[in-house]
């Protein structure tokens, strides 16, 4: 069982939390804390032995914590995810393989694609694939089809594994901090088409990727994970693209692991992550 706590900071919070849990005869396996001194906010993540009276424990924690404290209790139950894709397979393939061998930390409920090219690989892994084309329809109609499909599934997170369409604010607002995206980290330097060609022409020395929660502000949501790899003058555009796909895959994988293990707190458009 994991408990995540976010509240106003004050003296004695660690003692109050640990003391209460000791009174309940629950063993704490690990406890991590962080204080944002500028915002006067306290964050804590506790791993403990499972307890059948989780709701009662939550109510007792509310009594010893500041008013309006956020307390989330997570059991060991795996998360459920829906994956959205376009044509690129590298991130989806990594997710499907880990899902198949039960190392993802979640179970994939289905895949939604605005092109049909990745349906075959989903079929090989016995994962339902829904083809929802964006062509010859406006964004509200396209997104309504997606939402109608999502309503068929119970899921915790929506993973954009190289889904190359911009989702509207109305769509995102229905899944606040539940949509995770991966993109290359050239932004805002090389926007638009062919970013790797632009990067090659500029002679960049680093290839990077960013995984983040999706918000109303395009590619500016709270960052979950980032990584970089060095490149040099010997790299062709194709080499850069291969390096970019590899780092996108590993960065998204790391971000999903952190989220699925309930290690991520979101506030003020940034994150606190207990790794």
Residues catalogued as catalytic: 219
Distance separating alpha carbons of residues 54 and 72, to the nearest angstrom: 10
Q: Are strands 106-113 and 79-85 parallel, antiparallel or unpaired?
A: parallel
| Angle at 182 (CA atoms; ends 129, 233), nearest 5 degrees | 120
Helix pair 13-23, 54-64: axis angle to 10 deg: 150
Could you give the residue ranges of the DSSP H alpha helices within 9-165? 13-23, 54-64, 90-100, 119-124, 139-150
Distance separating alpha carbons of residues 75 and 55, to the nearest angstrom: 12
Residue 91, φ and ψ in degrees, nearest 5? -75, -45
Asked whether 188 and 208 are in contact (CB, 8 A), the reply is no
> Hey, what are 228's tokens?
């970089």
């Amino acid at each position: 069982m994991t408990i995540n706590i976010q509240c106003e900071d004050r003296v004695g919070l660690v003692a109050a939390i640990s003391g209460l849990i000791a009174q309940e005869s629950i063993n704490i396996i690990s406890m991590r804390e962080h204080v944002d001194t500028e915002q006067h906010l306290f964050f804590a993540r506790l791993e403990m032995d499972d307890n059948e009276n989780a709701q009662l424990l939550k109510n007792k924690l509310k009594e010893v914590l500041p008013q309006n404290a956020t307390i989330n209790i997570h059991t060991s139950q795996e998360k459920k995810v829906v994956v959205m894709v376009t044509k690129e397979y590298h991130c989806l393939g990594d997710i499907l393989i880990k899902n198949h061998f039960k190392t993802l930390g979640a179970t994939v409920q289905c895949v939604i694609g605005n092109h049909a090219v990745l349906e075959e690989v989903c079929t090989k892994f016995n994962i339902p694939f829904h083809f929802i084309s964006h062509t010859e329809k406006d964004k509200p109609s396209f997104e309504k089809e997606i939402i109608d499909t999502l309503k068929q599934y119970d899921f915790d997170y929506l993973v954009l594994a190289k889904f190359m369409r911009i989702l509207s604010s109305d769509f995102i607002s229905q899944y606040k901090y539940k949509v995770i995206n991966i993109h290359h980290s050239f932004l805002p330097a090389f926007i638009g088409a062919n970013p790797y060609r632009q990067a090659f022409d500029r002679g960049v020395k680093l290839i990077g990727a960013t995984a983040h929660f999706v918000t109303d502000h395009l590619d500016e949501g709270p960052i979950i994970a980032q990584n970089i790899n060095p490149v040099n003058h010997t790299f062709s555009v194709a080499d850069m693209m291969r390096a970019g796909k590899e780092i996108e895959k590993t960065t998204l994988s790391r971000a999903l692991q952190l989220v699925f293990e309930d290690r991520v707190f979101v506030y003020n458009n940034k994150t606190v992550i207990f790794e």
